[in-house]
Structure 1
Amino acid sequence: MYKSIIIGTGPAGYTAAIYLARANMNPLIIEGMQPGGQLTTTTEIENFPGFEQGILGPELMDNMRKQAERFGAEFTSGWVEEVDFSKRPFKVKVEGKGIIEAESVIIATGASAKYLGIPGEQDNVGRGVSTCATCDGFFFRGKKIIVVGGGDSAMEEASFLTRFASSVTLVHRRDELRASKIMQDRARENEKVHWALNRTPLEVVTGETGLKGLKVHNNETNQDELIEADGVFVAIGHTPNTGFLNGQIHTDEHGYIEVKPGTTETNIPGVFACGDVQDNRYRQAITAAGTGCMAAMDCEKYLEGSSVHDWSESLDQ
């Protein structure tokens, strides 16, 4: 029996672990197959406060993990197969470890960026291929960039990247965009944004000096083309990692966990959510860490028997 289990790592899970461990709550952190989350695939982070010269993503996550361990946090690895939040103690079934019980649970499983699934893509993540303009746009000053996608996120990322790039080419497999009209208009009014519609991405192409561009199939001419670029940003959405919850926690229409505004409380008292799994807007390391702190403090208050209340009725309204 644990006082608290944290499912997931990354900046949110590790920060929650640090705070709970320092409060002598001795949390158990369940790591998946990629301890540290998405930041372990990021080469350099320059926008996390406190690191003047930047820091490598894996190094930052390793530092956070060691900090949590220093204060007594316990770690175990494995996939969470299912949970039972119907009664206390809560039950968490971990692959190869069986059922673990806890008085409280913090969910910090993040959201996975959707990829195109084409050759050369995964091999070049962090080496010219990115899913986060805010994180990596700075590295492409004065360079040519491709943004793949047709929704609001793609329009927003394309517009943002024009702050750094010499040009941004927006690639979409259809001739019509899914983005709202206002977002399309903003992108079309930007002279740095160029359009390659009705083109299906086929391969991320590299050369001896790095990324060369994106090979696409022109659906109008039925010919393959190479769109030259120094970077390819995939903006086709994210999938929150909430499948294992099996509907026990309230989520929005996209699967992101709903929390009481201004807190990390879910519809089940004693279960909290932090990081990208409940944030479909900011998705930054620093905001994830902030909500990790909030989740730990909310959890500590709950375990002390104060100021946590059932607000499920407000979610149903």
Structure 2
Amino acid sequence: MSDPVHRKVIILGSGPAGYTAAIYTARANLAPLVITGNEPGGQLMTTTDVENYPGYPKGVTGPDMMEELREQAERFGTEIHYDMGVRADLSKRPFELEVDGGEIFTCDALIISTGASAKYLGLPNEQRLQKSGGGVTACATCDGHFYSGQEVAVVGGGDTAMEEAQFLTRMCKKVHLIHRRDEFRASKIMQKRTLENPKIEVHWNRAVKDVLGKDRVEGLVLENTVDGSSEELVCTGLFLAIGHVPNSKIFAGQLDMNETGYLEVKPGSTATNIAGVFAAGDVADHVYRQAVTAAGTGCMAAIDAERWLAEQEG
């Protein structure tokens, strides 16, 4: 086996957090290496239009935005490696990472920006329309504006689903909230607000069995979870609010994380419980999960890493 490839800074992940961290560390002459992960560009690569990121008054597609961020990072000397981290050893310095292709990388400082993946139902047409930008999404804040005056559906029964549904009532004609049980798991106050909102119709004991539409969502096939009967629901957008999974599995047992796997950082910092390891973006953020907040913490992680390295050398 060849010797490990060493870099002063390695950034794991290539979404807004990772590329922003790369821009800042590269400008600090730290020559960062970005290991992209299996979805270069992150969740925004499946987002058709981004209209809420500052600096794009006419909007931008997710892929175009990530391409521009990648070019900006490379302009300052960032090295991009297209592979996915599959193993991490943070017990010694330099830190060691193994990628799917079998190569071993080591680094003095590590910035983790591996993101979080939205949970989907796994239905064939749901996945096809989600990838093509045809009306299936997991972010009302990002995409709700595109459904102004339309009827949409939200799937879920927790606080996130309630928040998404209520947010969508600001611009949508009607919101259908679909829940597979006969009671919500959301907090009482969120349930009360949802049930009292005249623009929200709750479909109890219903599960989505199919998504209708060729180029865009045209409706759903709902199955009654009590008697097994089916019915069709007409809508033009499907919002999934059944949770996210942070991409932190390879750090289990090494880094502090909450009960659902989000990495924990020190207040006012991106520092993890291991000195020299920093976390940015959705992998450490279960609250906001926006491109602009991910980019902000990517900047923070880069500055934290730069200052930490300077202290080690000083």
Fold shared by both chains (TM-score > 0.5): yes
Give the equivalent residue in structure 2 for 1:192: 199
Give the equivalent residue in structure 1 for 2:3: none
Give the equivalent residue in structure 1 for 2:261: 255
Match among 230, 234, 243 for residue 240 of structure 2? 234
- 5+ residue gaps, structure 2, are 1-5
Deviations 1:247-284 (A, max 9, x none): 20100111100001111000000000000000000000
Match among 68, 76, 92 for residue 71 of structure 1? 76
- C-alpha deviation, 1:221, in angstroms: 4.5
The CA RMSD over aligned residues, in Å, is 1.1
Deviations 1:107-161 (A, max 9, x none): 0000000001123111111211110000000000000010000111101100110
* 3-state SS in 2 of match to 1:51: coil
Give the equivalent residue in structure 1 for 2:184: 177
- The 5 A counterparts of 1:130-209 are 130-207=137-214
Amino acid corresponding to residue 78 of structure 1 in structure 2: D
Deviations 1:69-102 (A, max 9, x none): 0100001111211111111111011121421111
Counterpart contact for 1:82–1:246, Cα < 8 Å? no
- The 5 A counterparts of 1:28-177 are 28-125=33-130, 126-177=133-184
Amino acid corresponding to residue 52 of structure 1 in structure 2: P
Give the equivalent residue in structure 2 for 1:23: 28
- C-alpha deviation, 1:210, in angstroms: 2.9
Match among 289, 296, 299 for residue 305 of structure 2? 299
Give the equivalent residue in structure 2 for 1:311: none
Amino acid corresponding to residue 117 of structure 1 in structure 2: G
- C-alpha deviation, 1:32, in angstroms: 1.4
- C-alpha deviation, 1:58, in angstroms: 0.2
Structure 1 segments of 4+ aligned residues over 4 angstroms from their partners:
none
| In structure 2, C-alpha distance between the alignment counterparts of 1:156 and 1:16, rounded to whole Å | 30
* 3-state SS in 1 of match to 2:45: helix
Amino acid corresponding to residue 163 of structure 1 in structure 2: R
* 3-state SS in 2 of match to 1:302: helix
Match among 9, 13, 17 for residue 18 of structure 2? 13
Give the equivalent residue in structure 2 for 1:210: 216
Counterpart contact for 2:154–2:239, Cα < 8 Å? yes
| In structure 2, C-alpha distance between the alignment counterparts of 1:95 and 1:2, rounded to whole Å | 18
* 3-state SS in 2 of match to 1:201: strand
* 3-state SS in 1 of match to 2:213: strand
- C-alpha deviation, 1:53, in angstroms: 0.3
- 5+ residue gaps, structure 1, are 307-317
Aligned-pair identity in percent equals 55
* 3-state SS in 1 of match to 2:69: helix
Amino acid corresponding to residue 268 of structure 2 in structure 1: G
1:276 is the counterpart of 2:282: yes
Equivalent pairs counted in the alignment come to 305
* 3-state SS in 1 of match to 2:22: helix
- C-alpha deviation, 1:218, in angstroms: 1.6
